[in-house]
């Protein structure tokens, strides 16, 4: 690309785009005109949702006002979902049918829920994605006593611990991890600690694949008791519209990008966070990576808008820090092969989460 571009479109107010807006607030818009298309003006920081369930935070403590950041950055805000893209013609379509043309587009819309595809459908099944809808729906079940959480990854484990420690009405929780078992991507030392803590808190663990039968959760052994509520924490799925529009995607439908977060099929399309799939190296879908890739995306968009080639590469560290809250004021730390736990780990998690939120809250509110 050699000509400077005029209209830069951000689709999705996700974690990386928050960093892009912050960059524009500090250093100015890199283009004549920029637009943000996202369904809600607030981004909910999912890392604080288990803390809300366990009574550690108020419901809206973990929100970033993306609308205010956009206003401060001089970006036009359009509320609505993107439902289609034509990367050849250079436009996206909104849920209301509006077509928005762009010179460069950056996609940070996160992943979609996978519960109906993997488990089936039932009225009392809640998917943790999208996270805003999950929070709204969970509030409608304050008295659910028997709850199954399906999914043995970090999200499922934290939600299971949180529900078990719900202050208003503690639940009897069953964690159905799938046949892969608990936390298959974390170290055996972390798994041991988590297993011990689940047993101490009387959370039943069933390491089998589940499906829905007549609205109830069933596994091959038939061990899952009847439930008042089923929560699916099955990881991020890919939205259908990127592949349908002709963007190159990986085997799971996530947008295939290079080391600069740039689409491998369309050079004026960028994608970051859970919706993207790095082709040069493996970058797991997690909030940590979405956040850390943000400043690199900001730099690359600035360069491309100037007419230069992008140069900034997000290189994840060999190990990432994960802090799994156990809902009772403690947390389990995971860093590569290392595992540790205690109340200090929970305090560290709270400090990291609050620092991220207040950084952007201060920026949104500063004059
Ligand atoms: C309960 C829970 C706890 C978690 N805890 C952690 C943790 O402690 N650490 C960690 O690293 N990861 C954690 N994760 C994973 C983490 O939440 C995700 O990896 C992270 O949110 C991905 O960020 P993102 O910016 O890609 O997408 P998101 O955070 O999902 O943001 C996407 C944005 O795009 C908007 N959007 C969605 N669809 C559209 C559309 N069609 N058009 C336009 N806009 C759209 C959304 O409204 C949202 O504003 C957790 C996940 C869950 C569910």
Q: What is the pLDDT of residues 225-254, one digit of tens each?
A: 889 999 999 998 999 999 999 999 999 999
pLDDT exceeds 90 at position 222: no
pLDDT exceeds 70 at position 137: yes
Same domain? 162 vs 222: yes
Write out the residue range of the structural domain in which residue 216 sits.
Answer: 115-235
**Mutate which of 151, 247, 286, 316 to test ligand 1's pocket (most atoms within 8 Å of Cβ)?**
286
- Residue 59, C-beta contacts closer than 8 angstroms, at least 6 positions apart: 52, 135, 139
Q: Per DSSP, what are the bridge partners of residue 256?
A: 277
Provide residues with CB under 6 Å of ligand 1.
11-16, 37-40, 43, 46-47, 49-50, 81-82, 108-110, 128, 131, 155, 158-159, 273-275, 285-288, 290
Same domain? 133 vs 147: yes
- The gap from C-alpha 226 to its chain's centroid, in whole angstroms, comes to 29
Ligand 1, atom nearest to 353 Cα: 8
Q: For tokens 């803390």, what's the residue?
A: 51
Q: For tokens 């403590």, what's the residue?
A: 61
Task: Yes or no: say if 157 and 182 are a contact pair by the CB < 8 Å rule.
Answer: yes
**Element (DSSP H or E) covering residue 85:** strand 82-86
pLDDT exceeds 90 at position 5: no
As a whole number of angstroms, the distance between CA 347 and CA 355 comes to 12
**Total domain count for the chain?**
2
Task: Yes or no: say if 230 and 120 are a contact pair by the CB < 8 Å rule.
Answer: no
Q: How confident is the model at residue 337 (pLDDT cuts 50, 70, 90)?
A: very high
Ligand 1, atom nearest to 128 Cα: 53
Q: How confident is the model at residue 362 (pLDDT cuts 50, 70, 90)?
A: confident
As a whole number of angstroms, the distance between CA 127 and CA 149 comes to 10
- Residue 62, C-beta contacts closer than 8 angstroms, at least 6 positions apart: 44, 45, 46, 47, 48, 49, 51, 52, 353, 357
**Element (DSSP H or E) covering residue 216:** strand 216-219
As a whole number of angstroms, the distance between CA 214 and CA 122 comes to 8
- The gap from C-alpha 195 to its chain's centroid, in whole angstroms, comes to 25
Q: What is the pLDDT of residues 273-314, one digit of tens each?
A: 999 999 999 999 988 899 999 999 999 999 999 999 999 999
pLDDT exceeds 70 at position 367: no
Asked if residue 199 is part of any domain, the answer here is yes
The CATH number that applies at residue 126 is 3.50.50.60
Ligand 1, atom nearest to 43 Cα: 49
The Cβ of residue 172 has, within 10 Å, a number of other Cβ atoms equal to: 17
Per the prediction, the chain carries an average pLDDT of 94
Asked if residue 351 is part of any domain, the answer here is no
Residues 9-15 have a mean pLDDT of 97
The Cβ of residue 101 has, within 10 Å, a number of other Cβ atoms equal to: 12
Residues 328-336 have a mean pLDDT of 97
Same domain? 263 vs 219: no
Asked if residue 324 is part of any domain, the answer here is no
Same domain? 19 vs 153: no
Asked if residue 326 is part of any domain, the answer here is no
Report the separation in Å between the CA atom of 43 and the middle of ligand 1, taken as the mean of its atom positions. Answer: 8
pLDDT exceeds 80 at position 169: no
Same domain? 159 vs 204: yes
Same domain? 310 vs 169: no
- Give me the pLDDT at residue 223, please: 78
- Residues of the chain with pLDDT > 70, as a percent, come to 98
Ligand 1, atom nearest to 273 Cα: 26
Q: Per DSSP, what are the bridge partners of residue 82?
A: 94
- Give me the pLDDT at residue 3, please: 57
- Give me the pLDDT at residue 194, please: 98
pLDDT exceeds 60 at position 1: no
Same domain? 252 vs 203: no
Asked if residue 292 is part of any domain, the answer here is yes
- Which of 167, 177, 186, 285 is CA-nearest to residue 233? 177
Same domain? 26 vs 87: yes
Q: What is the pLDDT of residues 34-54, one digit of tens each?
A: 999 999 999 999 999 999 999
Task: Yes or no: say if 332 and 194 are a contact pair by the CB < 8 Å rule.
Answer: yes
- Residues of the chain with pLDDT > 90, as a percent, come to 86
pLDDT exceeds 90 at position 329: yes
Report the separation in Å between the CA atom of 15 and the middle of ligand 1, taken as the mean of its atom positions. Answer: 7
Asked if residue 32 is part of any domain, the answer here is yes
């Amino acid at each position: 690309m050699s000509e400077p571009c005029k209209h830069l479109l951000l689709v999705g107010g996700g974690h990386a785009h928050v960093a892009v807006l912050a960059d524009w607030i500090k250093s100015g818009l890199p283009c004549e005109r920029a637009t943000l298309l996202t369904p809600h003006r607030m981004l909910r920081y999912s890392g604080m949702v288990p803390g809300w369930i366990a009574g550690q935070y108020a419901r809206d403590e973990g929100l970033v006002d993306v609308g205010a950041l956009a206003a401060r950055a001089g970006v036009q805000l359009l509320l609505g979902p993107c439902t289609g893209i034509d990367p050849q013609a250079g436009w996206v379509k909104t849920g209301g049918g509006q077509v928005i043309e762009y010179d460069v587009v950056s996609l940070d819309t996160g992943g979609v829920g996978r519960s109906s595809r993997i488990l089936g459908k039932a009225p009392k099944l809640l998917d943790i994605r999208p996270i805003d809808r999950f929070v709204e729906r969970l509030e409608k079940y304050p008295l659910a006593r028997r709850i199954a959480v399906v999914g043995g990854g970090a999200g499922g484990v934290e939600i299971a611990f949180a529900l078990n420690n719900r202050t208003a009405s503690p639940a009897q929780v069953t964690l159905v991890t799938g046949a892969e078992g608990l936390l298959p991507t974390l170290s055996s030392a972390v798994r041991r600690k988590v297993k011990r803590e689940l047993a101490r808190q009387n959370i039943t663990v069933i390491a089998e694949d589940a499906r829905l039968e007549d609205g109830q959760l069933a596994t091959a052994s038939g061990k899952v008791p009847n439930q008042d509520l089923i929560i699916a924490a099955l990881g991020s799925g890919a939205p259908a519209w990127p592949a349908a529009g002709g963007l190159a995607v990986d085997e799971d439908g996530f947008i295939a990008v290079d080391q600069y977060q740039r689409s491998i099929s369309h050079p004026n399309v960028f994608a970051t966070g859970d919706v993207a799939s790095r082709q040069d190296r493996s970058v797991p879908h997690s909030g940590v990576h979405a956040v850390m890739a943000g400043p690199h995306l900001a730099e690359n968009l600035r360069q491309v808008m100037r007419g230069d080639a992008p140069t900034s590469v997000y290189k994840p560290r060999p190990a990432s820090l994960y802090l799994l809250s156990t809902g009772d004021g403690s947390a389990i730390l995971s860093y590569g092969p290392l595992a540790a736990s205690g109340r200090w780990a929970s305090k560290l998690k709270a400090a990291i989460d609050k620092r991220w939120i207040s950084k952007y809250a201060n920026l949104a509110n500063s004059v």
